[in-house]
Structure 1
Amino acid sequence: MNRIYILLLLTAFSLSGFAQQKPSIKLGTKTLYQPLQSNYTPVPSGYKAVYINFIGRHGARHLTKDVKVSYAWRLLKKADSLNVLNDEGKMLWKMVSNLDKVEEKGFASISKTGAEELEGIAKRMYTNQKNVFSGNSTPLMISTTKKGRTKESAEAFLAGLKAEKPSLTENVKFNYADDDHLRFYDFSKTYNEFEEHGAWIKEYQKLANIKKLNSITDQFVNKFFKADFLKSLNPENRTTFIEDIYGFYTILGAIEYEIKAVNLNDTDLNFAKYFIATDLKALGVLGDAEDFLKKGPGMNANGIQVRIAAPLLADFINTTDSYLKSNSPKADLRFAHAETVAPFAAIMNIKGASEPAKDILSFNQVWKAEKVIPFSANIQWIFYKNESKNQYLVKFLLNEKEVAINGLSTKTYPYYNWDSVRAFYLKKLKSLKVRLNDNMHDYLLNVK
């Protein structure tokens, strides 16, 4: 299969250098985190916050792989040794070498910016829900995936809580590598087949043809190599090359502190100069479209890319039930990936994150990557109890914004009756043939 469609990382960005990038710039999944709301609807009379159920993406990060293992590094190094780089190619090779200096020890980890994102979320959670964290010993449960960057994100989050109230980190339980609930996409053969050969590819290629992706790729690669050497680069080579260079660019905003730490500046890493502004817009749309089709509601809100999130939905219900029985822990805090948060938002029926597209050409009217899964993206279920009535309300936040649940009504928006919410989601799980006590690993292995 032509690998053109794999331009997953391509997202919209400005022609300015990394130091000018601000969190408000839309970079799809590489958008730096900013809360989407700061002033909240008053809590109904008689209710107080008592419990938080949370899932978050890891913070802004470094590259996930060493620069030296990238195809771009190997190709530029070879071309340099053969003296087939033109002047622009030599400059690009220098930039890639500069990036290697920044990333050689940090790849696959969150950056300082990422840690600051998570600390900020934790501090705002404490400030907005102080009643949850009252008392001298507040038990917390932390769950992460097997990836180190999710553990680092949990640590940064705890640092934010500790800065607000030191005793909050004294009673924490850890559940590392909870991949059945948090990396569910790794275990489903049906989903893996969907990723490789699913109907989404046809939809993506339809959009790619309109955006003239092949032309963008060819024009980009032609800037750096002498004519005879260019003939040796097939379409797959060219696609991988632009993927790598664009991936290098999109990470710069996330590692700004680390770049400055090795005394580099905008000019030293100005990958943006090689992209035409109109092409960047097209690449951004295509990158978001691929995320929408493979991780979000896509063209079918009940597709396999959403159904694989059933274990996490069941886990949210189970952990909530456990809290209601024992009043512990006060918060279940999970740290995972964009591939976790996007399907979960879809299976939850969150407005603005769960609607499928009727036509891929207009998908960004119903779903925006920078609003759903930026770095440090998070979904919070915040529970409020009325002691006299022994009743619970729950409010849903997506990236700290109050959100509605499609198909679920309430007279006290954004607060929903928990019994109604639970029944609503149990009905959804039943439609997927999932029960709360099922073996979720087996479910993922067998889901169709």
Structure 2
Amino acid sequence: MTRLPIPSAVLILACTFLAACGGETAIDKPVANNPAPQQPGTPGTTPAPAPTPTPVPATYYQTKTPYLPQQDASTYEAPPAGYAPVYTELVARHGSRGLSGFKYDGAIYDMLQKADADGALTALGQQLKADAFAMMKANALLGYGVSGISTPGYGNLTQAGIREHQQLAVRLLQRLPTLFDSPGRHIVVVNSGQDRAVDSSTYFTSSLVKTRPALAAAITLPPAPANYPQGAPAAQPAGTNRFLLYFHSLKAATDLVTVTNDPYYETYQSSLAYQAYGSNATVDAKLNAIMSAPAAVDVAQTVLAGLLKPDFIAKLGSPGYTFSNTGTYTFASQDSKFSNTLKGDGKTKIASPVDAVNVLYNLAPAMSAETGGVTLEKYIAAPQAEYLAYLQDAADFYQKGPGIKESNPVTYKMAKILRDDFFGEVDAISRGDQTNAAKLRFTHAEIVIPFASIMNLKNVFVPVPQAQTYSYANNLWRGDSVSPMAANMQWDVYSNGSRLLVKMLYNERETDFQAECDGAKVAPNSHFYDYTQLKRCYGYS
């Protein structure tokens, strides 16, 4: 496939995700689930190199990519002789979901209705109109009749997203079959409080229990942080911790912290600073520059030429040819027992060909099971999809990822609370506290991405100087590897009775900690780290 030239500026795209949302190089493309098997490394020796991954076809969905484990478990390095698993912990993004709200689908359908009335739709455009309407209905009814979904509609997990977490749980048990043999130990489960993260945690733990029924008694939901917002505290459900797992969007109405010696004060202040960074003038300038780039216009014209007649494309943005997510639509379930009325707010706008293509790019979640097989790949060819993927990556890189070097650590400082929590959990094991066998955290891309940055992972934390602009040519950061749907980081802890070792899996690929910690490895090419040295390397003593 011919690659389009990538411009030096970036475009901010809306956050609703396109489609059914590492190893030492944590930025590799997804690999097939079952590459050729290989014997694990001999315990206590330099492990055999992992086989070359078998790439799957590029989808260009970036942070909306459906989840695939990044390494076949049969190739994992075995622990050194005498070591057995004593603990594991995880942070995971929610699974693939539908659109977050009636936005992109409403805007594109508004445009297609007008084009149809004008006789300006091509045959492919007619098909898109029907598919867009089908997706509106599927999102409006998403989750109805599905066990574990309490409120059907936009933003819920799809069938693909449910399976992602069920299978992730099964693979955890397969990887650590003896960890949960000791009775009485807890599996602590925490979530962000947002429906899709709560539901992901439920599907994950239900899968654990289905596989090993005795674990039902081990599932523990800790109390939510109390006394927040300060001054008017409100109770939150057990298992919820917004400071730990929703730190990108803390609000005075729910999370206000005014006492400077409060343990959550620093996180609250870092969240406010991050939210203010959303209007950073330098980032805005870079994002705005791409809006007028010739390559963006060329991509838009190429995509729209297959859907709309030239006269209609030329009118986009003129009076009567500006579109948005307006209108009211009511959809009912097949059994007529549930209905949902959509009312557009008009905030998602199409006022140019570039707007129209960006809206289309953001339209398609992993919903083939819910839509009867509707997919949108046929509307954006691979070269154009690749360009739009770059734009999405650039927006995420600057807004959620490493971003501008001179602005650091604003995009990831708030993730310190999560890093502290990971180390704190292993500290408890090192003190001999065996109360917990696991801690499972369920959250969002806005948490996983800054956490990967603050962990300083190779090819993940690669900020760019202000004088430069992120591009595929100068940076290996890619959303489909950093935070696909159900993205996860897991730390497995092993002990020989006197020493703790830690191994990290990032999207189920054995992954090095920051390069400065290489001296903590038990062998030069090993993925097992001496915990005491690892902790010191990250500034914990």
Tell me which interval the TM-score lies in, with the shorter structure as reference length.
0.7 to 0.9
CA distance 1:288–1:364, change in 2 (3 Å): farther
CA distance 1:244–1:361, change in 2 (3 Å): closer
Specify the alignment match of 2:217 in structure 1.
170
Assess if the C-alpha contact under 8 Å between 1:10 and 1:286 holds in 2.
no
Specify the alignment match of 1:224 in structure 2.
308
Specify the alignment match of 2:454 in structure 1.
347
CA distance 1:185–1:219, change in 2 (3 Å): same
Specify the alignment match of 2:160 in structure 1.
113
Structure-to-structure mapping, 1:27-176, within 5 angstroms? 27-37=61-71, 38=73, 39-66=75-102, 70-77=106-113, 83=118, 85-88=120-123, 89-106=125-142, 107-174=154-221, 175-176=238-239
Specify the alignment match of 1:16 in structure 2.
none
CA distance 1:355–1:255, change in 2 (3 Å): same
Assess if the C-alpha contact under 8 Å between 1:289 and 1:363 holds in 2.
no
Distance 1:100 1:35 in 2: 30
Tell me by how many angstroms 1:171 deviates.
2.3
1:331 aligns with 2:438: yes
Specify the alignment match of 1:194 in structure 2.
277
Assess if the C-alpha contact under 8 Å between 1:397 and 1:403 holds in 2.
yes
Specify the alignment match of 1:404 in structure 2.
512
Letter in 2 for 1:5: I
Specify the alignment match of 2:383 in structure 1.
278
Q: Aligned residues, how many?
A: 406
Distance 1:52 1:211 in 2: 50
Letter in 2 for 1:318: G
Specify the alignment match of 1:441 in structure 2.
none
Deviations 1:320-343, CA, capped at 9 Å, x for gaps: 333444212111100001111111
CA distance 1:270–1:210, change in 2 (3 Å): same
Distance 2:286 2:315 in 1: 34
Letter in 2 for 1:342: I
Structure-to-structure mapping, 1:289-368, within 5 angstroms? 289-300=394-405, 302-325=408-431, 326-357=433-464, 359=468, 360-362=470-472, 365-368=475-478
Tell me by how many angstroms 1:113 deviates.
1.1
Specify the alignment match of 2:52 in structure 1.
none
CA distance 1:133–1:207, change in 2 (3 Å): farther
1:212 aligns with 2:219: no
Gaps of 5+ in 1: 14-21, 431-448
CA RMSD of aligned residues (A): 3.1
CA distance 1:41–1:210, change in 2 (3 Å): farther
Gaps of 5+ in 2: 1-9, 21-54, 143-153, 222-237, 251-270, 323-348
Between Structure 1 and Structure 2, which shows a larger proportion of helix residues? 1
Letter in 1 for 2:537: F
Distance 1:103 1:422 in 2: 45
Letter in 2 for 1:173: T
Q: 1:371 aligns with which of 474, 481, 502?
A: 481
Tell me by how many angstroms 1:72 deviates.
2.2
Specify the alignment match of 1:416 in structure 2.
529
Specify the alignment match of 2:351 in structure 1.
237
Specify the alignment match of 1:438 in structure 2.
none
Deviations 1:210-238, CA, capped at 9 Å, x for gaps: 67113433554564375485333469633
Assess if the C-alpha contact under 8 Å between 2:426 and 2:493 holds in 1.
no
Letter in 1 for 2:369: Y
Letter in 2 for 1:182: L
SS in 2 for 1:248: coil
Deviations 1:60-110, CA, capped at 9 Å, x for gaps: 111111369732234444565x54653454443222111123222112111
Deviates more, 1:137-146 or 1:49-58: 137-146
Distance 2:100 2:239 in 1: 20
Deviations 1:342-399, CA, capped at 9 Å, x for gaps: 1101101222322334652346742222222111110011111111x2x211111101
CA distance 1:64–1:23, change in 2 (3 Å): farther
Q: TM-score, normalised by structure 2?
A: 0.68
